[in-house]
Structure 1
Amino acid sequence: MIYAERLAYSMHLAYSEDGASYRSLNHNSGVLFAKATDNENGTMNAKSLKNPFLFRLDNGQFGVVAVRTEANGQRDPQSAGRILFFVTSDLLQYREVGLLNLKTEAYVDDVTCKYVEAVKAYIIHWCDESGNGFQNTITDLFDLEGASNPESAEAPIQSEQIYNIEGIVPRNVIPVPREIAHRLVCKLTVPTNVAIELQESMVAASPEELKAVKATAVYSDGTTALKSVEWMTDAVDWSKQGTYVVEGTIQQQKYEFPMAVNRADPCIARWNGKYYFIATNDADGNQTLFIREADSIPGLIHAEEHLILDTKTYDHIKGLLWAPEIHIIEDQLYIFHAATTGEFLYEECHVMQLREGGDPTQAADWSMPRRVLKKDGTELCEAGKVISLDMTVIQVNGECYAAWSERQFVPVDLGAWVYIAKLDPHEPWKLINDPVLLTKPDYGWANNHTFVDEGPFALIRDNKLFVTFASAAVDATYVVGLLVAELTSDLLDANSWTKGNYPLLTSRSVPGEYGPGHNSYVVDDEGTIWNTYHARPGIDAPRCSGLRRIHFDIDGYPVLDLTEEKDLNPELANVTILVTVHNE
């Protein structure tokens, strides 16, 4: 239920400094998955991989060969006589080159590959399902039909080394350059707070000047984060010149999970100096939307809930109120959400607008929900055949975009795919160009139990646009994937986006949180970015909302699994500073 076959049948990595003891990376979760294959009608066939083998290419990059299987690990008829070949320069982002033809009708059961300098070619050793060994020679692995005919040879030797790693199927060991290894460990290990840096002294004339001083938390990967400090200034006489040793405690806002029970797809937004929380209401079968208002994010935890939409007020809103999001577009407040006129197959994206000067907690101040329209004025999806949901807003470079999930059910179920298009900022329920596909659930972690990519939400950091999205069934195998684009790129060009090979967040990421997903992000008064998400406090428990600080790794990419105890070491939380009071 936690680590299903389509998640498990993937390439995992572990590392060792001494060649003896190994530590698993990425929470002992897969980092490389086989892509699904496409059918003529648009449907996909989920695939997995087994027996991956990592090796160096003659150009210094790395290659991976593996046996492609059906999603559940069984033999894949399309892969008979072939092996799957990938290439990577950093062991993080991989390109699936394709199926390499070994010129045989037999199923490949195991495979290894090595470049032999003496013959300027790669030697592929493999065995069939009966254990018979063979080898092929090929000079160019990227020529998928270029292998020689197979010859009898010794079968690949299975590793007999004992690794103390749960569930491991040992493959091969390969040395890598230290710089690659360092980056790999930093990217695939959750950092921990190892030090606090703080200026030793300062000159101040008021407690406000001292309050502005922040500490820098340093993490095991060399990254940092600013932290506020609560200074104990009772002993300081700000009216007299003098020098004082002032003690302080580094502040860490703690949010116990769950922060809201039976609340999924959560979103927190700031509007006119207040914070608002809204989410899918699982408690009543998604028949209502409630909003909370507070002066701070912590205040939202116990804030009163106000009903702003139900399935009784409007004739066209009759159920399944899903994934509400609050967005500010040109100083106007909107709620994007999904709703149906009755049945599931009529679920579509809608938009509500707050009237000028309105109160977000008052239902009467919100406009009637209206369906999202395409650029020609027709409805986004053909109701009864295609559903749409999880629409979000991305505002960058003076442009306003929408991203959403769309799933065709008739005539065939294609699964849920994520699209992007520009929005009219004056009427943000209208698209102004044709939708562009961003991602479809082609990896095993996205098509487990069902083919779904949904819940996109944007996070802008430095010169990059990150869009996280949720994948697979909304059970304990729900996960979070990542898309990345340069801010200056054409966001309507699918080639501008890179999708990560593995999910950022899974049930293996944070103990006690199952099926994490459907993230959104908010910045608080201190400039800290918070991740709002839902997960389950037990495998079969209800979906509940949570909050966690977002950290950024050595490449500036979001880290979603930095838990509180790793974010701040309690033993480092007490600090001192020498304050000289100087009043002119």
Structure 2
Amino acid sequence: MKKTTVFLFLVLLSSFGFVQNAPSNTFTNPLLPAGPDPWNIYKDGYYYYTNSTGGNLVIWKTKDLTDLKSAEKKVIWVPPTGKEYSKELWAPELHFIRGKWYMYFAADDGDNNHHRMYVVENPSLDPMKGEWTFKGKVADDTNKWAIDGSVFENKGKLYMIWSGWEGDKNGMQSIYIAEMSNPWTISSKRVKLSSPTYKWESNSGIGVLVNEGPEILAHGDKLYLIYSASGCWTDFYALGMLTASTKSNLLDVASWKKSAEPVFQQSPENGVYAPGHNSFFKSPDGKEDWILYHANANAGDGCGNKRSPRAQKFTWNKDGSPNFGTPVKLGTALALPSSTKKSK
């Protein structure tokens, strides 16, 4: 049979529905070509995703977090010019707290030394709708340099964790925690939980030591504070972990135990460098746990927009701690989060 005849035969079969593409139940990383500091939250059947853009706050809305390229996207807030929070908007996080949406972010006036944390609010049940209003700065009474704010609740109390300076000069970023009286007000003294102490946390090349990007992962009766360590401009950017009991005094540094080794780090053999600044999510049916993080595809790509968001499933160790495994190679086919309905 001639090639042209075979081709025509297949076209005819296809037209009658006998030849079909098999439905895809996989995805590949990256989720977007670029997107540092990825964050997501799941509510009412939708994932709401955001990442650093530098100049505004943006939300993606989707039922399939692995298909961000097709997601609805909206700029929800642009800062006014000439303010102390008009530039360098970093690490936005979207939270639904006590019936309203809040997006936290770090910003400055163009001078990194002036970075502080801020929040906007929206009472709409859908964060893509309604009006976002600026609530103000979120700071403890020291009002020191601060970025990467994240908020969580435990035993009816609201807390903020962030990365900050001890004084007024850049040299070391540490992880702090404080209690909040409401979603825009820190009401306690800040407590330092972690500073870079291990060699794997202290790679920078410029004399600046970094602990940043803290995120809470709750499991059983434990809270795991996962943070990013070493300079994001290095290939050694990696994730560390602090552990506390949900029943402990979270404002007591003695309640937290620091792991001596990183829990997620670069994989040169898989072409993944500087993985970090993560968040977490569950599959739509709540049965699987996933980590969302950014990483570079090449050594030396640094701390800019070459960082792309990726996702992969993780498991739990016998002691209840998370096992994130090794970052997977770009283009690897991964099974969709369970019960995900693939976008058409």
Same fold at TM > 0.5: yes
Partner of 1:531: 291
Cα distance in 1 for partners of 2:37, 2:153 equals 20
Alignment pair present for 1:421 and 2:184 = no
Partner of 1:326: 94
Give 1:453's match in structure 2, choosing from 211, 229, 241.
Answer: 211
CA 1:454–1:431: 2 relative to 1, 3 Å: same
Note if contact 1:297-1:524 (Cα within 8 Å) is conserved in structure 2. no
Partner of 1:555: 319
Cα distance in 2 for partners of 1:366, 1:569 equals 36
Q: Could you list the per-position Cα deviations for residues 358-394 of structure 1 after superposition, in whole angstroms to 9, with x for gaps in the alignment?
A: 64235x71111510133xxx5x52xxxx410101112
Alignment pair present for 1:503 and 2:273 = no
CA 1:253–1:327: 2 relative to 1, 3 Å: farther
Once the two structures are TM-superposed, the CA of residue 569 in structure 1 deviates from its matched residue by 11
Partner of 1:172: none
Structure 2 unaligned regions, length at least 5? 1-22, 336-344
Cα distance in 1 for partners of 2:110, 2:135 equals 15
Higher relative contact order (CA 8 A, sep 6+): 2
Give 1:339's match in structure 2, choosing from 102, 107, 110.
Answer: 107
CA 1:564–1:321: 2 relative to 1, 3 Å: closer
Partner of 1:288: 56
Partner of 1:225: none
Question: For residue 105 of structure 2, what is the amino acid of its counterpart?
Answer: H
Partner of 1:348: 116
Q: CA RMSD in A?
A: 2.6
Give 1:494's match in structure 2, choosing from 243, 250, 253.
Answer: 253
Q: Could you list the per-position Cα deviations for residues 103-160 of structure 1 after superposition, in whole angstroms to 9, with x for gaps in the alignment?
A: xxxxxxxxxxxxxxxxxxxxxxxxxxxxxxxxxxxxxxxxxxxxxxxxxxxxxxxxxx
Partner of 1:394: 152
Q: Could you list the per-position Cα deviations for residues 541-583 of structure 1 after superposition, in whole angstroms to 9, with x for gaps in the alignment?
A: 4111111112112222111125679x9999xxxxxxxxxxxxx
Once the two structures are TM-superposed, the CA of residue 324 in structure 1 deviates from its matched residue by 0.6
Partner of 2:185: 430
Query: Per the alignment, in what secondary structure is the counterpart of residue 321 of structure 1?
Result: strand
Once the two structures are TM-superposed, the CA of residue 501 in structure 1 deviates from its matched residue by 0.4
CA 1:552–1:562: 2 relative to 1, 3 Å: farther
Note if contact 1:510-1:563 (Cα within 8 Å) is conserved in structure 2. no
Partner of 1:275: 47
Mapping of residues 80-159 of structure 1, within 5 Å? none
Cα distance in 2 for partners of 1:569, 1:253 equals 8
**TM-score (normalised: structure 2):** 0.80
Partner of 1:367: 133
**TM-score (normalised: structure 1):** 0.48
Question: For residue 512 of structure 1, what is the amino acid of its counterpart?
Answer: G
Query: Per the alignment, in what secondary structure is the counterpart of residue 280 of structure 1?
Result: coil
CA 1:409–1:557: 2 relative to 1, 3 Å: same
Alignment pair present for 1:357 and 2:124 = yes
Mapping of residues 40-79 of structure 1, within 5 Å? none
Note if contact 1:275-1:300 (Cα within 8 Å) is conserved in structure 2. no
Note if contact 1:358-1:365 (Cα within 8 Å) is conserved in structure 2. no
Once the two structures are TM-superposed, the CA of residue 297 in structure 1 deviates from its matched residue by 2.2
Total equivalences in the alignment: 302
Question: For residue 490 of structure 1, what is the amino acid of its counterpart?
Answer: N
Once the two structures are TM-superposed, the CA of residue 485 in structure 1 deviates from its matched residue by 0.6
Q: Could you list the per-position Cα deviations for residues 245-281 of structure 1 after superposition, in whole angstroms to 9, with x for gaps in the alignment?
A: xxxxxx9964422112221111110233321110012
CA 1:428–1:569: 2 relative to 1, 3 Å: closer
Once the two structures are TM-superposed, the CA of residue 446 in structure 1 deviates from its matched residue by 1.3
Once the two structures are TM-superposed, the CA of residue 462 in structure 1 deviates from its matched residue by 1.0
Query: Per the alignment, in what secondary structure is the counterpart of residue 186 of structure 2?
Result: coil
Partner of 1:216: none
CA 1:433–1:510: 2 relative to 1, 3 Å: farther
Compare CA radii of gyration and give the structure with the larger one.
1
Cα distance in 2 for partners of 1:569, 1:329 equals 33
Q: Could you list the per-position Cα deviations for residues 69-127 of structure 1 after superposition, in whole angstroms to 9, with x for gaps in the alignment?
A: xxxxxxxxxxxxxxxxxxxxxxxxxxxxxxxxxxxxxxxxxxxxxxxxxxxxxxxxxxx
Question: For residue 189 of structure 2, what is the amino acid of its counterpart?
Answer: D
Runs of 4+ in 1 over 6 A off after TM superposition: 567-570
Note if contact 2:240-2:262 (Cα within 8 Å) is conserved in structure 1. yes
Alignment pair present for 1:442 and 2:206 = no
Question: For residue 418 of structure 1, what is the amino acid of its counterpart?
Answer: I
Cα distance in 1 for partners of 2:95, 2:272 equals 28
Once the two structures are TM-superposed, the CA of residue 357 in structure 1 deviates from its matched residue by 2.4
Mapping of residues 204-223 of structure 1, within 5 Å? none
Partner of 1:485: 244
CA 1:439–1:253: 2 relative to 1, 3 Å: farther
Query: Per the alignment, in what secondary structure is the counterpart of residue 491 of structure 1?
Result: coil
Structure 1 unaligned regions, length at least 5? 1-250, 571-584
CA 1:343–1:388: 2 relative to 1, 3 Å: same
Note if contact 2:51-2:58 (Cα within 8 Å) is conserved in structure 1. yes
Partner of 1:297: 65
Note if contact 2:31-2:68 (Cα within 8 Å) is conserved in structure 1. no
Cα distance in 2 for partners of 1:505, 1:331 equals 34
Partner of 1:131: none
Cα distance in 2 for partners of 1:329, 1:365 equals 16
